């Protein structure tokens, strides 16, 4: 069952696979994730859709990446700050921004998410990762835009 797959992994990031900003964030996390804590799945993939459904999210709502840690789902700025904390080093200091009320943090997050395609572009298909990045994706975590 996929739920067990998610529970075996420490942290899973569900990303918009056609968003250039999200693809760059994935590359950044892979490069700086020394402990290989994070695995990935595109929101558009079979694994992404299953995990969205398990978390009670709509399969059509791709305005946020989602972090799943130990069966808990985090979205928007909360997810982003937890990823920075998980990467360790100086990045973990960014988690201190969690003291800012979530409506304020999430407003900034939504502004970026709303404009991400215009500012950073998008692809017709999901990221074509290097073998190292591909090894970090769940088995059926790659997908193409519907």
pTM for this prediction? 0.78
pLDDT of 2 reads: 42
Average pLDDT value over all residues in the chain: 80
Which ranges constitute the DSSP H helices of the chain?
2-8, 20-32, 46-54, 76-87, 102-120, 131-134
Write phi, then psi, for 33 (nearest 5 degrees). -90, 75
pLDDT of 144 reads: 47
How distant, in Å, are the alpha carbons of 13, 47, 141 from that of 144? 17, 12, 10
* CATH number attached to the domain at 2-134: 3.40.30
pLDDT (average), residues 137-143: 68
């Amino acid at each position: 069952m996929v739920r067990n797959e998610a529970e075996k992994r420490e942290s899973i990031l569900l990303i918009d696979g056609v968003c250039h900003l999200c693809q760059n964030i994935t590359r950044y996390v892979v490069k700086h994730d020394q402990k290989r804590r994070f695995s990935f799945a595109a929101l558009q993939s079979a694994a992404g859709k299953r995990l969205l459904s398990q978390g009670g999210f709509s399969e059509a709502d791709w305005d946020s990446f989602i972090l799943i840690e130990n069966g808990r789902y985090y979205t928007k700025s909360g997810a982003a700050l937890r990823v920075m904390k998980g990467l360790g080093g100086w990045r973990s200091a960014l988690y201190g921004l969690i003291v800012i009320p979530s409506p304020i943090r999430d407003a900034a997050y939504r502004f970026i998410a709303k404009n991400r395609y215009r500012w950073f572009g998008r692809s017709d298909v999901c990221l074509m990762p290097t073998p190292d990045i591909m090894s970090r994706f769940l088995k059926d975590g790659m997908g193409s835009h519907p």
